[in-house]
Amino acid sequence: IVFWEPAFFGIKPALILKGGMIAMAQMGDPNASIPTPQPVHYREMFATRGGALGRTSLTFVSQMALDAGVAERYGLSKRIVAVKNCRSVTKAHMIHNAWQPSISVDPETYQVIADGQLLTCEPAKVLPMAQRYFLF
């Protein structure tokens, strides 16, 4: 589960949980004398250390590997799960992103055409999620 502050949604998570444990969080300087030092950086937390790593992760293998006892043979601490029906999943199964246009790019003019329609866009004047979001 990823927690976001609304102003930073999609670019800078506030907290990342794995299996109910904190995996990554933003922390400032550990030697700071105040509770909110800047800059803050992502640091690994409890879910990425020791036995918690295996308890908060899955390793996907084929059913054949699972039946052959791969986990025991290699001494894996992570839970092992067999993948199912992954070969039958296609782009059409994506609910909000199933469009597959026919795309061509003219090598001389670099014009991009999708399903016979020329795609154009003006250069951006403002980049809302650029450098300023990563200052702190």
Residue 33, token pair as written in the block: 């004398």
* Residues 55 and 78 reside in one and the same domain: yes
pLDDT, tens digit (0-9, with 9 covering 90-100), for 43-83: 899 898 888 888 888 899 999 999 999 999 999 888 899 99
Is 117 among the domain residues? Answer: no
Apex 17 CA angle, 13 and 19, nearest 5: 160
Compute the distance between CA of residue 131 and CA of residue 123 in angstroms, rounded to an integer.
18
Is 101 among the domain residues? Answer: no
Per-residue pLDDT band at 127 (split at 50, 70, 90): confident
Is 18 among the domain residues? Answer: yes
Is 30 among the domain residues? Answer: yes
The domain of 64 spans 50-84
Among 24-28, 76-80, 115-119, 127-131, the least confident range: 127-131
Q: How many domains does the chain have?
A: 2
C-alpha dihedral sign at 50, 55, 56, 62 = positive
- Please report, in angstroms and rounded to a whole number, the separation of the first and last CA atoms in the chain: 23
